Structure 1
Amino acid sequence: MTIAELSNVPKHVAIIMDGNGRWANERGQPRSFGHKQGVEAVRTVVRAAGEVGVKYLTLFAFSSENWRRPEAEIQDLFGLLKFFIRRDLAELHASNVCIKVIGDRYRLASDILNLLLEAEETTRNNGGLVLVIAFNYGARDELARAVQAIARDVEAGRLEPGAVTPEMISQRLDTAGIPDPDVIIRTSGEERLSNFLLWQSAYSELMFVPEYWPDFGREQFFEAIARYGNRVRRFGAVTPPAVAGSQA
Protein backbone atom coordinates (compact mmCIF):
# COMPACT_ATOMS: atom_id res chain seq x y z
CA MET A 1 0.00 0.00 0.00
CA THR A 2 1.29 3.47 -0.87
CA ILE A 3 0.67 6.88 0.64
CA ALA A 4 -1.20 7.91 -2.50
CA GLU A 5 -3.79 5.19 -1.81
CA LEU A 6 -4.64 6.57 1.61
CA SER A 7 -7.43 9.05 2.28
CA ASN A 8 -9.08 10.48 5.38
CA VAL A 9 -5.86 10.25 7.39
CA PRO A 10 -6.53 10.62 11.14
CA LYS A 11 -5.13 13.66 12.87
CA HIS A 12 -4.18 11.75 16.03
CA VAL A 13 -3.17 8.10 16.22
CA ALA A 14 -2.49 6.43 19.57
CA ILE A 15 -0.87 3.01 19.83
CA ILE A 16 -0.68 0.43 22.60
CA MET A 17 2.59 -1.28 21.67
CA ASP A 18 1.94 -4.82 22.85
CA GLY A 19 3.55 -8.20 22.30
CA ASN A 20 7.30 -7.66 22.58
CA GLY A 21 7.74 -10.42 25.15
CA ARG A 22 5.62 -12.99 23.34
CA TRP A 23 7.37 -12.16 20.05
CA ALA A 24 10.70 -12.93 21.72
CA ASN A 25 9.46 -16.07 23.49
CA GLU A 26 8.22 -17.57 20.23
CA ARG A 27 11.75 -17.16 18.88
CA GLY A 28 13.42 -18.67 21.92
CA GLN A 29 14.82 -15.32 22.96
CA PRO A 30 14.61 -13.37 26.25
CA ARG A 31 11.97 -10.70 26.61
CA SER A 32 14.66 -8.03 26.46
CA PHE A 33 15.33 -9.04 22.85
CA GLY A 34 11.69 -8.35 22.02
CA HIS A 35 11.83 -4.94 23.64
CA LYS A 36 14.93 -4.07 21.58
CA GLN A 37 13.13 -5.01 18.39
CA GLY A 38 10.17 -2.98 19.60
CA VAL A 39 12.36 0.13 19.63
CA GLU A 40 13.10 -0.42 15.94
CA ALA A 41 9.35 -0.63 15.30
CA VAL A 42 8.96 2.73 17.06
CA ARG A 43 11.46 4.32 14.68
CA THR A 44 9.64 2.88 11.67
CA VAL A 45 6.16 3.95 12.76
CA VAL A 46 7.25 7.47 13.75
CA ARG A 47 8.69 7.96 10.27
CA ALA A 48 5.60 6.46 8.62
CA ALA A 49 3.27 8.71 10.62
CA GLY A 50 5.20 11.75 9.47
CA GLU A 51 5.14 10.58 5.85
CA VAL A 52 1.37 10.08 5.73
CA GLY A 53 0.49 13.36 7.46
CA VAL A 54 -0.54 12.26 10.94
CA LYS A 55 -0.26 15.31 13.21
CA TYR A 56 -0.13 13.56 16.60
CA LEU A 57 1.23 10.11 17.43
CA THR A 58 0.91 8.86 21.01
CA LEU A 59 2.86 5.76 22.04
CA PHE A 60 2.17 3.86 25.27
CA ALA A 61 5.79 3.27 26.31
CA PHE A 62 5.54 2.39 30.02
CA SER A 63 2.40 2.14 32.11
CA SER A 64 2.01 2.89 35.79
CA GLU A 65 1.18 -0.81 36.20
CA ASN A 66 4.46 -1.92 34.59
CA TRP A 67 6.21 -1.37 37.92
CA ARG A 68 4.85 -4.80 38.83
CA ARG A 69 7.18 -6.44 36.32
CA PRO A 70 10.51 -7.96 37.37
CA GLU A 71 13.09 -5.33 38.26
CA ALA A 72 15.47 -6.55 35.56
CA GLU A 73 12.83 -6.05 32.87
CA ILE A 74 11.99 -2.57 34.16
CA GLN A 75 15.65 -1.61 33.97
CA ASP A 76 15.82 -3.01 30.43
CA LEU A 77 12.86 -0.84 29.43
CA PHE A 78 14.40 2.24 31.01
CA GLY A 79 17.70 1.49 29.30
CA LEU A 80 15.97 1.24 25.94
CA LEU A 81 14.23 4.57 26.48
CA LYS A 82 17.61 6.15 27.17
CA PHE A 83 19.03 4.48 24.09
CA PHE A 84 16.17 5.67 21.89
CA ILE A 85 16.42 9.29 23.03
CA ARG A 86 20.21 9.47 22.87
CA ARG A 87 20.33 7.84 19.44
CA ASP A 88 17.30 9.38 17.77
CA LEU A 89 16.75 12.80 19.35
CA ALA A 90 18.94 14.59 16.80
CA GLU A 91 17.13 12.90 13.90
CA LEU A 92 13.71 13.65 15.36
CA HIS A 93 14.69 17.27 15.91
CA ALA A 94 16.02 17.56 12.37
CA SER A 95 12.72 16.09 11.11
CA ASN A 96 10.80 18.86 12.91
CA VAL A 97 9.22 16.38 15.38
CA CYS A 98 7.96 17.87 18.64
CA ILE A 99 8.20 15.52 21.63
CA LYS A 100 5.77 15.68 24.54
CA VAL A 101 5.76 13.36 27.54
CA ILE A 102 2.64 12.46 29.53
CA GLY A 103 2.42 10.49 32.75
CA ASP A 104 3.38 10.86 36.40
CA ARG A 105 7.03 11.91 36.63
CA TYR A 106 7.19 11.54 40.44
CA ARG A 107 8.67 8.02 40.53
CA LEU A 108 11.16 8.49 37.73
CA ALA A 109 14.88 8.48 38.45
CA SER A 110 16.64 11.77 37.76
CA ASP A 111 18.58 10.44 34.76
CA ILE A 112 15.39 9.29 33.02
CA LEU A 113 13.50 12.46 33.93
CA ASN A 114 16.32 14.69 32.73
CA LEU A 115 16.44 12.88 29.37
CA LEU A 116 12.71 13.30 28.90
CA LEU A 117 12.93 16.99 29.79
CA GLU A 118 15.85 17.40 27.38
CA ALA A 119 13.84 15.80 24.56
CA GLU A 120 10.88 18.09 25.24
CA GLU A 121 12.96 21.23 25.50
CA THR A 122 15.09 20.47 22.43
CA THR A 123 12.05 19.95 20.21
CA ARG A 124 9.65 22.39 21.89
CA ASN A 125 9.44 24.82 18.99
CA ASN A 126 9.20 22.22 16.21
CA GLY A 127 6.04 22.37 14.12
CA GLY A 128 5.90 18.92 12.56
CA LEU A 129 4.60 15.63 13.95
CA VAL A 130 3.89 15.78 17.69
CA LEU A 131 5.25 12.57 19.23
CA VAL A 132 3.56 11.99 22.59
CA ILE A 133 5.34 9.47 24.79
CA ALA A 134 3.14 8.03 27.53
CA PHE A 135 5.69 7.05 30.17
CA ASN A 136 4.77 5.97 33.69
CA TYR A 137 1.26 6.71 32.50
CA GLY A 138 -2.05 5.35 33.73
CA ALA A 139 -5.40 6.88 32.83
CA ARG A 140 -6.97 6.42 36.26
CA ASP A 141 -3.97 8.03 37.90
CA GLU A 142 -4.17 10.89 35.39
CA LEU A 143 -7.86 11.42 36.16
CA ALA A 144 -7.22 11.30 39.90
CA ARG A 145 -4.54 13.98 39.58
CA ALA A 146 -6.88 16.14 37.49
CA VAL A 147 -9.68 15.81 40.05
CA GLN A 148 -7.27 16.63 42.88
CA ALA A 149 -6.22 19.81 41.07
CA ILE A 150 -9.86 20.86 40.64
CA ALA A 151 -10.61 20.00 44.27
CA ARG A 152 -7.76 22.26 45.41
CA ASP A 153 -9.22 25.13 43.39
CA VAL A 154 -12.67 24.53 44.91
CA GLU A 155 -11.20 24.38 48.42
CA ALA A 156 -9.32 27.63 47.84
CA GLY A 157 -12.49 29.36 46.63
CA ARG A 158 -11.17 29.85 43.12
CA LEU A 159 -13.82 27.61 41.60
CA GLU A 160 -17.46 26.75 42.26
CA PRO A 161 -18.30 23.02 42.13
CA GLY A 162 -21.13 23.69 39.72
CA ALA A 163 -18.72 25.35 37.32
CA VAL A 164 -16.78 22.13 36.68
CA THR A 165 -17.28 21.00 33.08
CA PRO A 166 -15.93 18.18 30.93
CA GLU A 167 -13.82 20.77 29.11
CA MET A 168 -12.31 21.89 32.40
CA ILE A 169 -11.40 18.31 33.27
CA SER A 170 -9.77 17.87 29.86
CA GLN A 171 -7.67 20.96 30.50
CA ARG A 172 -6.32 19.43 33.73
CA LEU A 173 -5.27 16.17 32.08
CA ASP A 174 -1.73 15.41 30.92
CA THR A 175 -2.99 15.73 27.35
CA ALA A 176 -4.22 19.31 27.71
CA GLY A 177 -3.85 21.02 24.34
CA ILE A 178 -3.65 17.71 22.47
CA PRO A 179 -6.73 16.62 20.50
CA ASP A 180 -8.36 13.34 21.48
CA PRO A 181 -7.14 10.37 19.44
CA ASP A 182 -9.13 9.59 16.33
CA VAL A 183 -8.02 5.97 16.46
CA ILE A 184 -6.35 3.77 19.06
CA ILE A 185 -4.44 0.79 17.71
CA ARG A 186 -3.41 -2.15 19.86
CA THR A 187 -1.04 -4.77 18.54
CA SER A 188 -0.72 -8.48 19.48
CA GLY A 189 -4.42 -9.37 19.16
CA GLU A 190 -5.38 -8.32 22.68
CA GLU A 191 -8.63 -6.35 22.80
CA ARG A 192 -8.60 -3.95 25.75
CA LEU A 193 -7.39 -0.43 26.53
CA SER A 194 -5.36 -1.36 29.62
CA ASN A 195 -5.86 1.95 31.41
CA PHE A 196 -4.77 4.01 28.39
CA LEU A 197 -6.40 7.36 27.55
CA LEU A 198 -9.73 6.36 29.10
CA TRP A 199 -11.16 9.90 29.12
CA GLN A 200 -9.73 10.87 25.75
CA SER A 201 -10.94 7.71 23.98
CA ALA A 202 -14.66 8.43 24.44
CA TYR A 203 -15.19 8.61 20.67
CA SER A 204 -11.99 7.07 19.37
CA GLU A 205 -12.12 4.30 16.82
CA LEU A 206 -10.60 1.16 18.33
CA MET A 207 -8.50 -1.12 16.18
CA PHE A 208 -6.99 -4.42 17.32
CA VAL A 209 -4.43 -6.00 15.02
CA PRO A 210 -2.90 -9.49 15.30
CA GLU A 211 0.76 -8.55 14.73
CA TYR A 212 3.08 -8.34 17.70
CA TRP A 213 4.59 -4.88 18.03
CA PRO A 214 8.05 -5.82 16.61
CA ASP A 215 6.27 -6.98 13.42
CA PHE A 216 4.16 -3.81 13.12
CA GLY A 217 5.93 -1.91 10.38
CA ARG A 218 5.25 0.70 7.74
CA GLU A 219 2.91 -1.50 5.70
CA GLN A 220 0.87 -2.55 8.76
CA PHE A 221 0.60 1.08 9.86
CA PHE A 222 -0.65 2.17 6.45
CA GLU A 223 -3.16 -0.70 6.41
CA ALA A 224 -4.51 0.48 9.77
CA ILE A 225 -4.84 4.02 8.43
CA ALA A 226 -6.71 2.66 5.39
CA ARG A 227 -9.11 0.73 7.64
CA TYR A 228 -9.74 3.87 9.64
CA GLY A 229 -10.55 5.75 6.44
CA ASN A 230 -13.42 3.36 5.75
CA ARG A 231 -15.11 3.88 9.11
CA VAL A 232 -17.96 6.31 9.77
CA ARG A 233 -17.67 8.39 12.92
CA ARG A 234 -21.04 9.67 14.17
CA PHE A 235 -20.18 11.09 17.61
CA GLY A 236 -23.66 10.12 18.82
CA ALA A 237 -25.52 11.49 15.80
CA VAL A 238 -27.11 9.70 12.85
CA THR A 239 -25.17 9.64 9.60
CA PRO A 240 -27.20 9.36 6.37
CA PRO A 241 -26.18 6.35 4.24
CA ALA A 242 -25.19 8.69 1.40
CA VAL A 243 -22.12 9.84 3.31
CA ALA A 244 -20.94 6.42 4.46
CA GLY A 245 -17.17 6.20 4.33
CA SER A 246 -16.62 9.76 5.48
CA GLN A 247 -16.42 11.31 8.92
CA ALA A 248 -19.49 12.93 10.44
Structure 2
Amino acid sequence: MRKVLLAGESWTIHSIHQKGFDSFTTTTYETGIKWFKKAIESQGYELTHIPNHLIQYNFPETVEELNQFDIVVLSDIGSNTFLLPDLSFSEGQQSINKLEVIKRYVSNGGKLLMAGGYISFSGIDGKSRYENSPLREVLPVNCLGKDDRVEVPEGVVPYVSNHEVFEKIPKNWPHFLGYNKTSEKQNTEVLATINGDPFIVIGDFGKGKSVAFTSDIAPHWGSEEFVNWEYYPVFWNNLFQYLDK
Protein backbone atom coordinates (compact mmCIF):
# COMPACT_ATOMS: atom_id res chain seq x y z
CA MET A 1 0.00 0.00 0.00
CA ARG A 2 1.28 3.48 -0.90
CA LYS A 3 1.98 5.68 2.12
CA VAL A 4 1.34 9.42 2.52
CA LEU A 5 2.63 11.57 5.39
CA LEU A 6 0.54 14.68 6.08
CA ALA A 7 2.09 17.30 8.38
CA GLY A 8 0.00 20.17 9.75
CA GLU A 9 -3.68 20.87 9.01
CA SER A 10 -4.52 21.26 12.72
CA TRP A 11 -5.17 24.16 15.07
CA THR A 12 -6.23 25.17 18.57
CA ILE A 13 -8.86 27.88 19.17
CA HIS A 14 -8.79 29.76 22.48
CA SER A 15 -11.91 31.89 22.91
CA ILE A 16 -12.86 34.58 25.44
CA HIS A 17 -16.59 34.77 26.18
CA GLN A 18 -17.43 38.19 27.59
CA LYS A 19 -20.92 38.43 29.13
CA GLY A 20 -21.28 41.85 30.66
CA PHE A 21 -19.04 42.04 33.72
CA ASP A 22 -18.23 38.32 33.65
CA SER A 23 -16.13 36.31 31.25
CA PHE A 24 -14.78 32.80 30.77
CA THR A 25 -12.54 31.03 28.26
CA THR A 26 -12.88 27.88 26.21
CA THR A 27 -10.32 25.98 24.16
CA THR A 28 -10.97 23.61 21.28
CA TYR A 29 -8.69 21.50 19.09
CA GLU A 30 -9.58 20.87 15.44
CA THR A 31 -8.16 19.29 12.32
CA GLY A 32 -9.07 19.67 8.65
CA ILE A 33 -7.93 16.28 7.41
CA LYS A 34 -11.19 14.33 7.09
CA TRP A 35 -11.87 15.10 3.42
CA PHE A 36 -8.29 14.44 2.29
CA LYS A 37 -8.00 11.32 4.44
CA LYS A 38 -11.23 9.84 3.12
CA ALA A 39 -10.30 10.72 -0.47
CA ILE A 40 -6.85 9.15 -0.59
CA GLU A 41 -7.80 6.12 1.49
CA SER A 42 -10.59 5.45 -1.01
CA GLN A 43 -7.87 5.31 -3.67
CA GLY A 44 -5.77 2.76 -1.79
CA TYR A 45 -3.35 5.02 0.09
CA GLU A 46 -2.44 4.84 3.77
CA LEU A 47 -2.34 8.22 5.56
CA THR A 48 -0.18 9.11 8.54
CA HIS A 49 -1.07 12.49 10.06
CA ILE A 50 1.24 14.49 12.33
CA PRO A 51 -0.56 17.59 13.64
CA ASN A 52 1.28 20.85 14.15
CA HIS A 53 1.83 20.51 17.90
CA LEU A 54 3.46 17.08 17.53
CA ILE A 55 5.90 17.95 14.74
CA GLN A 56 8.82 18.47 17.12
CA TYR A 57 8.25 15.04 18.66
CA ASN A 58 6.98 12.80 15.88
CA PHE A 59 8.15 14.15 12.51
CA PRO A 60 10.96 12.00 11.07
CA GLU A 61 14.48 13.20 11.80
CA THR A 62 16.30 11.28 9.06
CA VAL A 63 15.93 10.71 5.33
CA GLU A 64 15.76 6.98 6.05
CA GLU A 65 12.65 7.52 8.17
CA LEU A 66 11.04 9.74 5.53
CA ASN A 67 11.77 7.13 2.88
CA GLN A 68 9.00 5.02 4.44
CA PHE A 69 6.58 7.42 2.71
CA ASP A 70 5.86 7.79 -0.99
CA ILE A 71 4.94 11.45 -0.60
CA VAL A 72 5.18 14.08 2.16
CA VAL A 73 2.40 16.68 2.29
CA LEU A 74 2.77 19.99 4.16
CA SER A 75 -0.55 21.76 4.72
CA ASP A 76 -1.11 24.88 6.82
CA ILE A 77 2.13 24.44 8.72
CA GLY A 78 4.76 27.18 8.86
CA SER A 79 8.53 26.86 8.78
CA ASN A 80 8.81 27.99 12.42
CA THR A 81 7.04 24.84 13.58
CA PHE A 82 9.92 22.84 12.09
CA LEU A 83 12.72 25.25 12.97
CA LEU A 84 11.87 26.14 16.58
CA PRO A 85 11.41 22.99 18.68
CA ASP A 86 11.55 23.42 22.46
CA LEU A 87 15.08 22.03 22.47
CA SER A 88 16.33 25.09 20.58
CA PHE A 89 13.75 27.80 21.41
CA SER A 90 13.37 27.11 25.15
CA GLU A 91 16.56 25.31 26.06
CA GLY A 92 19.05 26.98 23.70
CA GLN A 93 20.45 23.72 22.36
CA GLN A 94 21.23 22.50 18.86
CA SER A 95 18.53 20.45 17.17
CA ILE A 96 17.90 18.75 13.85
CA ASN A 97 16.74 21.00 11.02
CA LYS A 98 13.82 18.92 9.75
CA LEU A 99 13.37 21.13 6.70
CA GLU A 100 16.91 20.18 5.66
CA VAL A 101 15.88 16.56 6.13
CA ILE A 102 12.89 17.09 3.82
CA LYS A 103 15.16 18.79 1.30
CA ARG A 104 17.53 15.80 1.28
CA TYR A 105 14.59 13.40 1.08
CA VAL A 106 13.35 15.08 -2.11
CA SER A 107 16.84 15.39 -3.57
CA ASN A 108 17.30 11.65 -3.10
CA GLY A 109 14.09 10.83 -4.96
CA GLY A 110 11.24 11.66 -2.58
CA LYS A 111 8.05 13.56 -3.40
CA LEU A 112 6.83 16.72 -1.65
CA LEU A 113 3.48 18.52 -1.90
CA MET A 114 2.88 21.89 -0.28
CA ALA A 115 -0.79 22.80 -0.08
CA GLY A 116 -2.01 26.35 0.40
CA GLY A 117 -3.51 27.99 3.45
CA TYR A 118 -3.01 30.83 5.91
CA ILE A 119 0.21 29.20 7.20
CA SER A 120 1.66 27.94 3.91
CA PHE A 121 4.18 29.39 1.42
CA SER A 122 4.69 32.91 2.86
CA GLY A 123 1.27 32.98 4.51
CA ILE A 124 -0.73 35.52 6.47
CA ASP A 125 1.44 38.49 7.47
CA GLY A 126 4.35 36.61 5.87
CA LYS A 127 4.54 34.35 8.94
CA SER A 128 5.15 31.02 7.21
CA ARG A 129 8.53 32.22 5.90
CA TYR A 130 9.35 29.33 3.57
CA GLU A 131 11.24 31.80 1.35
CA ASN A 132 13.87 31.91 4.11
CA SER A 133 13.98 28.15 4.64
CA PRO A 134 15.76 25.22 2.99
CA LEU A 135 12.56 24.46 1.08
CA ARG A 136 12.93 27.62 -1.02
CA GLU A 137 15.20 25.55 -3.29
CA VAL A 138 12.86 22.57 -3.38
CA LEU A 139 9.50 24.19 -4.10
CA PRO A 140 8.53 24.70 -7.77
CA VAL A 141 7.29 28.23 -7.00
CA ASN A 142 8.78 31.36 -5.48
CA CYS A 143 7.29 32.52 -2.18
CA LEU A 144 6.71 36.28 -2.00
CA GLY A 145 8.15 36.97 1.44
CA LYS A 146 5.08 38.96 2.49
CA ASP A 147 1.39 38.39 3.14
CA ASP A 148 0.57 36.32 0.05
CA ARG A 149 -3.15 35.68 0.59
CA VAL A 150 -5.59 36.34 -2.21
CA GLU A 151 -9.07 36.32 -0.69
CA VAL A 152 -11.88 35.69 -3.17
CA PRO A 153 -15.11 35.40 -1.14
CA GLU A 154 -17.20 35.46 -4.32
CA GLY A 155 -15.31 32.38 -5.53
CA VAL A 156 -12.82 31.80 -8.32
CA VAL A 157 -12.61 28.81 -10.66
CA PRO A 158 -9.15 27.57 -11.74
CA TYR A 159 -8.14 27.06 -15.34
CA VAL A 160 -6.77 23.56 -15.86
CA SER A 161 -4.72 22.39 -18.81
CA ASN A 162 -5.05 19.19 -20.82
CA HIS A 163 -2.39 17.51 -18.70
CA GLU A 164 -2.73 13.80 -17.93
CA VAL A 165 -3.17 14.61 -14.23
CA PHE A 166 -6.66 15.79 -15.15
CA GLU A 167 -7.57 12.65 -17.09
CA LYS A 168 -11.22 11.67 -16.54
CA ILE A 169 -11.82 14.93 -14.62
CA PRO A 170 -14.10 17.65 -16.04
CA LYS A 171 -12.50 20.91 -17.16
CA ASN A 172 -15.01 22.85 -15.06
CA TRP A 173 -13.78 22.68 -11.50
CA PRO A 174 -15.61 23.85 -8.37
CA HIS A 175 -14.77 27.31 -7.09
CA PHE A 176 -12.20 28.21 -4.43
CA LEU A 177 -12.43 31.05 -1.91
CA GLY A 178 -8.79 32.07 -1.93
CA TYR A 179 -5.19 30.98 -2.48
CA ASN A 180 -1.55 31.86 -1.85
CA LYS A 181 -0.04 34.05 -4.54
CA THR A 182 3.30 32.77 -5.83
CA SER A 183 5.32 32.84 -9.05
CA GLU A 184 6.43 29.73 -10.89
CA LYS A 185 10.11 28.96 -11.30
CA GLN A 186 11.75 28.28 -14.64
CA ASN A 187 11.69 24.73 -16.00
CA THR A 188 8.56 23.72 -14.09
CA GLU A 189 5.22 22.34 -15.25
CA VAL A 190 2.31 24.71 -14.65
CA LEU A 191 -0.67 22.37 -14.75
CA ALA A 192 -3.29 24.91 -13.70
CA THR A 193 -3.68 28.60 -12.88
CA ILE A 194 -6.10 30.58 -10.75
CA ASN A 195 -6.74 34.24 -11.50
CA GLY A 196 -3.72 33.94 -13.80
CA ASP A 197 -1.49 32.93 -10.87
CA PRO A 198 0.08 29.50 -10.32
CA PHE A 199 -2.39 26.98 -8.91
CA ILE A 200 -0.81 23.56 -9.51
CA VAL A 201 2.90 23.47 -10.39
CA ILE A 202 5.31 20.53 -10.51
CA GLY A 203 9.08 20.75 -10.53
CA ASP A 204 12.14 18.50 -10.28
CA PHE A 205 14.66 18.79 -7.47
CA GLY A 206 17.59 16.42 -7.62
CA LYS A 207 16.14 12.94 -8.15
CA GLY A 208 12.75 13.86 -6.68
CA LYS A 209 9.75 16.05 -7.42
CA SER A 210 7.81 18.75 -5.63
CA VAL A 211 4.30 20.10 -6.14
CA ALA A 212 2.68 23.39 -5.20
CA PHE A 213 -1.10 23.32 -4.79
CA THR A 214 -1.69 26.93 -3.85
CA SER A 215 -5.21 26.72 -2.46
CA ASP A 216 -6.49 24.66 0.46
CA ILE A 217 -7.19 20.92 0.58
CA ALA A 218 -9.95 21.73 3.12
CA PRO A 219 -12.27 24.63 3.97
CA HIS A 220 -12.29 27.52 4.05
CA TRP A 221 -10.37 28.24 0.82
CA GLY A 222 -11.13 24.73 -0.34
CA SER A 223 -14.87 25.20 -0.72
CA GLU A 224 -17.46 22.65 0.37
CA GLU A 225 -18.13 22.12 -3.34
CA PHE A 226 -14.47 21.21 -3.89
CA VAL A 227 -13.89 18.88 -0.93
CA ASN A 228 -17.18 17.06 -1.57
CA TRP A 229 -16.66 16.92 -5.35
CA GLU A 230 -16.89 13.42 -6.78
CA TYR A 231 -13.58 14.00 -8.58
CA TYR A 232 -11.71 15.18 -5.45
CA PRO A 233 -10.33 11.65 -4.79
CA VAL A 234 -9.62 11.08 -8.48
CA PHE A 235 -7.50 14.23 -8.70
CA TRP A 236 -5.24 13.29 -5.78
CA ASN A 237 -4.82 9.76 -7.10
CA ASN A 238 -3.96 11.03 -10.60
CA LEU A 239 -1.46 13.53 -9.16
CA PHE A 240 0.28 10.99 -6.95
CA GLN A 241 0.49 8.45 -9.77
CA TYR A 242 2.00 11.05 -12.08
CA LEU A 243 4.67 11.88 -9.51
CA ASP A 244 5.75 8.23 -9.55
CA LYS A 245 6.60 8.33 -13.25
* TM-score over 0.5 (shorter chain): no
TM-score with structure 1 setting the length: 0.32
Point out the structure with max Rg over C-alpha.
1
Larger relative helix fraction: 1
Larger relative strand fraction: 2
